Amino acid sequence: NLPLVFITGPCVIESEELVLTTARRLAEIASKENLSLIFKCSFDKANRTSVDSFRGPGLERGLEILAKVKQETGLEVTTDIHEPCQAAPAAEVCRILQIPAFLARQTDLLEAASKAALQYDGVVNIKKPQFVAPEDCIHAVKKCEAFGLDRLLLTERGTTFGYGRLVNDMRCIPIMKQMGPPVIFDATHSVQTPGGKSTGGDREMIPFLARAAVACGCDGIFAETHPDPSQALSDGPNMLPLDHFASFAIQMQRFRDLFNEISGTSDIPSA
Amino acid sequence: NLPLVFITGPCVIESEELVLTTARRLAEIASKENLSLIFKCSFDKANRTSVDSFRGPGLERGLEILAKVKQETGLEVTTDIHEPCQAAPAAEVCRILQIPAFLARQTDLLEAASKAALQYDGVVNIKKPQFVAPEDCIHAVKKCEAFGLDRLLLTERGTTFGYGRLVNDMRCIPIMKQMGPPVIFDATHSVQTPGGKSTGGDREMIPFLARAAVACGCDGIFAETHPDPSQALSDGPNMLPLDHFASFAIQMQRFRDLFNEISGTSDIPSA
Amino acid sequence: NLPLVFITGPCVIESEELVLTTARRLAEIASKENLSLIFKCSFDKANRTSVDSFRGPGLERGLEILAKVKQETGLEVTTDIHEPCQAAPAAEVCRILQIPAFLARQTDLLEAASKAALQYDGVVNIKKPQFVAPEDCIHAVKKCEAFGLDRLLLTERGTTFGYGRLVNDMRCIPIMKQMGPPVIFDATHSVQTPGGKSTGGDREMIPFLARAAVACGCDGIFAETHPDPSQALSDGPNMLPLDHFASFAIQMQRFRDLFNEISGTSDIPSA
Amino acid sequence: NLPLVFITGPCVIESEELVLTTARRLAEIASKENLSLIFKCSFDKANRTSVDSFRGPGLERGLEILAKVKQETGLEVTTDIHEPCQAAPAAEVCRILQIPAFLARQTDLLEAASKAALQYDGVVNIKKPQFVAPEDCIHAVKKCEAFGLDRLLLTERGTTFGYGRLVNDMRCIPIMKQMGPPVIFDATHSVQTPGGKSTGGDREMIPFLARAAVACGCDGIFAETHPDPSQALSDGPNMLPLDHFASFAIQMQRFRDLFNEISGTSDIPSA
C-alpha cells in the first residue's frame, strides 16, 4: 500500500540553470503535495536521430550538476548510462541507474550497473525494450540477480507496433510485477512517435495512459517535464509542461489511493 | 458525469434455462448495486473456428428467449447481427444492435441496422475491427449518420498484434470519444488469444484492462459472464464467473466515480 | 511444375465498356504470352470506406457483364461474394467464387459458396484475413471440406501491421501450401495503405512483392489492372496500369520457371 | 549487375578448430562455385538471453583467430562490435565491421566504426534495428557519412511483429536500396523466434525468405552456417547446416542472375 513514486525532470541537461530551476520547483511540489519524487536528467542522449541533435554535457559535467541538484534540493537523482565504464561514477551520485531500453540485453552494461549499485547501495532501473515481450524481462532481472543485485525496478515504455508508433500493452504491468521488482510506467517515451526527421510525440495522451497504468497497479510514473517543452532540446513534444506537473501528480495519487483500496478485492482466477 | 453502463451476459444462448438464470441473477445485482446494466447474449455465433463449434438457437428462437429475459427481468437486451435481414426482427426485441468487428465495414449491414434502430428507437453498437485504427472508426459512424441514425455506441475490443494475440491501445478511448458516441470497452474479447484449435483467453487480465479503460474515460464495460465458464460452449476462457460479477462491477464503478471527479482537472494541451 | 495463374481485371465493374475493353486486351495478352489467366471484377464493393464511394452495378447486372466477358473472350471469370444468397447465381457464371478476407470466418458464407461451387463444378478462393495467422487458415479449409468441397484456393493479401499498413509475411506461402490448396498472392491488396479519407496504395511495390511470392512458391498472382488507374473508381493507387501487365506477367513467369527448376533442390530440414 | 555477396560462418567463435574447419570448407565452396564470400564469426555475443549462455573468446583472442582465417583461406572476414573501443582493433583485421541491430542508433559506436573503417579502408555494415522503419535507416547512413565514411552496407534482419516473432517486410529492400549502400538480407536472424528460455528459430524458412529477398533486389545474403547446428553454442536452430551451404548458394545465385537480367524491365511508376 505504498504511495506512487514519480521519476521526473527534463529529458537532457540543457544547462545547469535549467536543471536547478526545474529541480527546485519539483522539490517544492513534492514537499507541498507529499510526493515521493526522484529527479531524472540525462547527461548524454547517446542515440539521437541525427549527429546534429543536442546530446548534453557529458558524464563528468553532468554528474556535477546532478550532485548539485541533490545537495540543493535534497531530492534523490537518477540518470541513464550507456557504457559499462559510466556505471560506477554515476552510482556515486545517483540513487538509481537507468538502463536504456535499446541496451537492456547488453550483459556487460547490466553487470557494471549491478556491481556499481551494490557498491553504492543503489538501484538499477531496467527499461523493457520495445522489442521484448513482458514475460521475457525476467532474463534481465535474472542477469542482475546473478551479479548479486536485487534492488531493481522494471519500466514499461511501449512496444513496437508497426512502423513509427508504440503501443502500451497494459497487461505488461501485472505480468512484470510477478517478477518481483516494482514496475514503473514511462508515460513520456510511451507517447513517442519514432521516425521521420525527428521523433515526435503525443503529450496530450500522457494523463490517459498514466492513469491506465496506475489502475493496473504500477508502482511509479516516469514523466519528463520542462518549464517550456516547446523550447526543449530533446523530447519536447512528449514532456509535461512543468506548470501541469502538480495537478498531474495529484490526479495520479488519487488513482493510486483507489487502487490500493480495492487491491485484491476482485481478482479473477485464470482459466 | 454518467455512471458506467455494463453490457453483460453469457456469450451464446446455450439454453433458455441458462439465459434466464443468468439474467435473473444479473438483474438482482443491478438492482442491489444500482448498476445500469444491459443483458447481452448471441443467438448465433456465425464465425466460430470450426463447423463443429456450437452456434446457438438461431434468430427466431433466440429472439423469443431474449424477449422473455426482457419481460421477466425488466433488463434491456442486446445481441449481435450478421446479415442485413436480421436487423429489423432483432431491433423489435433488442434496444441495442451490435455490429461484429469483422463486419463493421459492411455498408449494407450498417444500413440495415441503422434503419431498424431508427424504426424501433434503438441504438447501434459498432465494434472497432481488429484491423482498423481508432481514427478510422469515424467512417462507420458517418455511414450510420448518413442513414439517419445518431444513437450510436463504439466498442474497443483489441487490435491485431502479431499472430494469435490482440493488444488494447488505450489511446483508442479518448480518440473514439471525440467522434461523439459513448465508447464501450469490451474486456472479454480483448483478452482472447485467437488461433490454434480454438480461441483461448486470459480471464485474469479482465479487471486490469477494464480498470485501465475506465481510467481513460470509457462510458461502459462489455464483459461476458457465465455461471460456470469452464462448461461454457463459447468464449469460456475469457468470460467472468457470474459469482465475481458484482465485485467486478463495484470496483469499476468506483474507478468511474473517481474519473468523473477528476475529469478535466489536468488535461494536457497537445504539442 | 505448373505455370503461374494470373487473376486480374479492374477492381470493380465501372461500366460494361470498361470491363469488355480490358478483358479483350487481357485475352490477347494471355494468348500471345501463353498465360493461364482468369478475369476478375467485382459487382459490388460492399465494404468501401464511405457511403459515397462507388459500389458497382450489383449482382444481377454484374453477372450479366461477366457472362459477356466469358462469352466474348473465352476467359474464365471470378468475382467476390458477400452474402450467402449471392453464391449460387455467381457460381453459375464464375468458375471461382472469392471469399473476402473480412468475411472468411463467416461459416454460412463458406457453406453457401462451397455448395454452389460443388453444384457448378467451381472453385472457392478463400482470402486469408488480415487478422489471422497463416497456420489458422486451416480452419476455413476444413469448413469447406466439411461441406464437401475440396477445389479451393488460398490467397495471401497481407496482415495487419500497426495502423494503416499491411505486411506480407512471406512464410505464409510455404505454410499455406502445406494445407493442400494452391496459394495465390494478391499483390494489389497487399500494397494497400488502409485508413484516412480513402484507402491508398503503393503500386510501385507490386513487382517486388509479387516476385518475392513467386520465389516462395506461390501458384498464382492476383493483380488488378485498369487502362487508366488514375481514373479508377476503386483501388486506383494499387492497380497495375494495363499497359504494364504483359511485361509484369512475363517477368513473373520467368521467376516461376526458375522456381520450378530449382524446386526441392535445397530444402533445409527444420531444427 | 554484380553477383551476390555471401556473408557466412558460425554464429560465434566456439573454438579455433571449429572456425578454421568451417572457413576452409567455405573457401573451397567459394572457389569451386565462384562465390563472392566473406567469413563472419562473433568474438563475443554481448546480448545473450542469460548470463550462463556462451559468449565467445573475447576481442583479442577472437581477432587472432579471424586473422588466421584470413591468412589461411584468403577470405575477407567480418565481425560485430559492441563498444566504441573495439572498432579500431577489429578494423585492423576485418574488412567489414558489423553494427548490431540493437545498437544501430548509438552515435558513438557508429562514429568509432566509421573512423576505424576510414583508417583501414574498411566497410561498416549497419543492421536495421527491429524497431525501426526502413525509411528511418537513412539516419544511421547520414551519421556515418557525417563522420566521413561512405563505404556502407545496410542489412535487413526482420521487424518486431507482436511478441516472440519477427517479420520481413520485403519492401525494405527497395526502400533501403534507394539510400545508396548495397543491401544485405540476413536470413539467419530473420527466422529467429525471440523469447522464452532461449531464442529459437525456423531454419527451414531460410531458403524461402532468402529467395524472396534476392527477387526484391538485395545485393547479398547473410546466413550463418555450422558443421552441426544441433551442437552449436548459439543460434543453432537458425543456422544452415554446412553441408547445405553450397546448394543454397547456387540457388541464390541463379535467382540473382535472373534478377539482374530482368532488372528494370517492368518497373511500375508510383501512383
Q: For A191-209, write each residue's pLDDT tens digit.
A: 999 887 777 889 999 999 9
- In the block, which residue shows the cell 465498356? C17
Beta carbons within 8 Å of A183's beta carbon, 6+ residues apart: A153, A154, A155, A156, A172, A173, A176, A177, A217, A218, A219, A220
Residue A265 pLDDT exceeds 90: no
Nearest by Cα to C168 from C189, C147, C196: C189
Return the higher-pLDDT residue of D2 and D106.
D106
- Residue from C131, C165, C168, C193 to probe the interface with A (highest A Cβ count within 10 Å): C165
Task: Give the pairing type, strands C76-80 and D152-156.
Answer: unpaired
Record: contact A163-C162, CB cut-off 8 A:
yes
pLDDT of residue C98: 98
d(CA C124, CA B185): 36
Record: contact B258-A262, CB cut-off 8 A:
no
pLDDT of residue A240: 96
Tell me the residue type at B144: C
pLDDT of residue A200: 86
d(CA A9, CA A32): 17
Record: contact A160-D164, CB cut-off 8 A:
no
Radius of gyration of chain D (CA): 17
Contact (CB, 8 A) for C215 and C259: yes
DSSP category for residue D2: P
pLDDT of residue C104: 96
Residue B16 pLDDT exceeds 90: yes
Residue A170 pLDDT exceeds 90: yes
ipTM: 0.96
- Residue from B48, B107, B137, B149 to probe the interface with C (highest C Cβ count within 10 Å): B107
pLDDT tens-digit readout, B164-220: 999 999 999 999 999 999 999 999 999 999 887 777 889 999 999 999 999 999 999
pLDDT of residue D196: 79
pLDDT-derived band at C74 (thresholds 50, 70, 90) equals very high
Contact (CB, 8 A) for A166 and A160: yes
Residue C8 pLDDT exceeds 80: yes
What mean pLDDT do residues A172-177 have?
98
Q: What is the rounded average pLDDT for all residues in chain C?
A: 96
pLDDT of residue D98: 98
Chain D: closest CA distance from residue A124 (Å): 17
pLDDT-derived band at D271 (thresholds 50, 70, 90) equals confident
Cell numbers representing residue A135 in the block: 514475460
Chain C: closest CA distance from residue D251 (Å): 7
Q: Which chain C residues are Cβ-neighbours of D171 within 8 angstroms?
A: 202, 205, 208-209
Residue A254 pLDDT exceeds 90: yes
pLDDT tens-digit readout, D111-131: 999 999 999 999 999 999 999
Give percent of chain C with pLDDT exceeding 90. Answer: 90
Chain B: closest CA distance from residue C174 (Å): 17
Give percent of chain B with pLDDT exceeding 90. Answer: 90
Chain B residues interacting with chain C (CB cutoff of 8 angstroms): 46-52, 55, 82-84, 102-103, 105-108, 129-133, 135-136, 139, 142-143, 146-147, 159-160, 163-164, 194-196
Dihedral of alpha carbons C64, C70, C72, C73, sign: positive
d(CA B23, CA B40): 9
Nearest CB to C258 within list D237, D244, D254: D254
What mean pLDDT do residues C175-191 have?
97
Most confident of B45-54, B199-208, D48-57, D166-175: D166-175
pLDDT of residue D55: 94
Residue C197 pLDDT exceeds 80: no
Adjacent-strand bridge partners of D155:
D127, D184
Q: What is the rounded average pLDDT for all residues in chain B?
A: 96
Residue D44 pLDDT exceeds 90: yes
Residue C264 pLDDT exceeds 80: no
Tell me the residue type at C22: T
d(CA D82, CA A80): 18
Beta carbons within 8 Å of D242's beta carbon, 6+ residues apart: D22, D25, D26, D225, D226, D227
Residue B271 pLDDT exceeds 90: no
Nearest by Cα to D35 from D27, D46, D43, D23: D27
Adjacent-strand bridge partners of A3:
none
pLDDT tens-digit readout, D184-223: 999 999 999 988 777 788 999 999 999 999 999 999 999 9
pLDDT-derived band at C49 (thresholds 50, 70, 90) equals confident
Chain B residues interacting with chain D (CB cutoff of 8 angstroms): 161-165
pLDDT tens-digit readout, B251-262: 999 999 999 999
Radius of gyration of chain B (CA): 17
Residue C99 pLDDT exceeds 80: yes
Cell numbers representing residue C23 in the block: 478483358
For residue C225, what is the enclosing H or E element?
A: strand C225-226
Q: Which chain A residues are Cβ-neighbours of B237 within 8 angstroms?
A: 271
d(CA A100, CA A46): 10
Residue A266 pLDDT exceeds 80: no
pLDDT of residue B49: 87
Q: What is the rounded average pLDDT for all residues in chain D?
A: 96
pLDDT-derived band at A122 (thresholds 50, 70, 90) equals very high
* Number of Cβ pairs < 8 A linking chain A and chain D: 93
pLDDT of residue A270: 87
Residue D264 pLDDT exceeds 80: no
Residue D263 pLDDT exceeds 90: no
Tell me the residue type at A108: D
Q: What is the rounded average pLDDT for all residues in chain A?
A: 96
Mean pLDDT lowest for which of A28-37, A89-98, C49-58, C150-159? C49-58
Record: contact A271-B212, CB cut-off 8 A:
no
HSE of D55, CA atoms in CB hemisphere, 13 A? 16
Residue A189 pLDDT exceeds 80: yes
pLDDT of residue A241: 97
Residue B39 pLDDT exceeds 90: yes
pLDDT-derived band at B267 (thresholds 50, 70, 90) equals confident
For residue A262, what is the enclosing H or E element?
A: helix A245-262
Cα D85 → chain centroid: 21
pLDDT of residue C4: 97
CA distances from C87 to A66, C78, C115, C123 (A): 72, 12, 8, 11
Record: contact D82-A106, CB cut-off 8 A:
yes
pLDDT of residue D210: 98
Chain A: closest CA distance from residue C162 (Å): 4
d(CA A132, CA D192): 13
Beta carbons within 8 Å of D3's beta carbon, 6+ residues apart: D34, D35, D36, D253, D256
What mean pLDDT do residues C47-71 have?
95
d(CA A198, CA A34): 37
pLDDT of residue D232: 94
pLDDT-derived band at D49 (thresholds 50, 70, 90) equals confident
Residue B58 backbone zone (phi > 0: left; psi -120 to 50: alpha; other: beta): left
DSSP category for residue A33: H
The model's pTM is 0.97
**3-state secondary structure labels for all residues of chain B:** CCCCEEEECCCECCCHHHHHHHHHHHHHHHHHHCCEEEEECECCCCCCCCCCCCCCCCHHHHHHHHHHHHHHHCCEEEEECCCHHHHHHHHHHCCEEEECHHHCCCHHHHHHHHHHHHHCCCEEEEECCCCCCHHHHHHHHHHHHHCCCCCEEEEECCEECCCCCEECCCCHHHHHHCCCCCEEEEHHHHCEECCCCCCEECHHHHHHHHHHHHHCCCCEEECCEECCHHHCCCCHHHCEEHHHHHHHHHHHHHHHHHHHHHCCCCCCCCC
DSSP category for residue C163: S
Record: contact A102-D142, CB cut-off 8 A:
no
Q: Can you count the helices (H) and strands (E) in chain A?
A: 9, 14
pLDDT tens-digit readout, A44-59: 999 988 898 999 999 9
pLDDT of residue A220: 98
* Number of Cβ pairs < 8 A linking chain C and chain D: 143
pLDDT-derived band at A186 (thresholds 50, 70, 90) equals very high
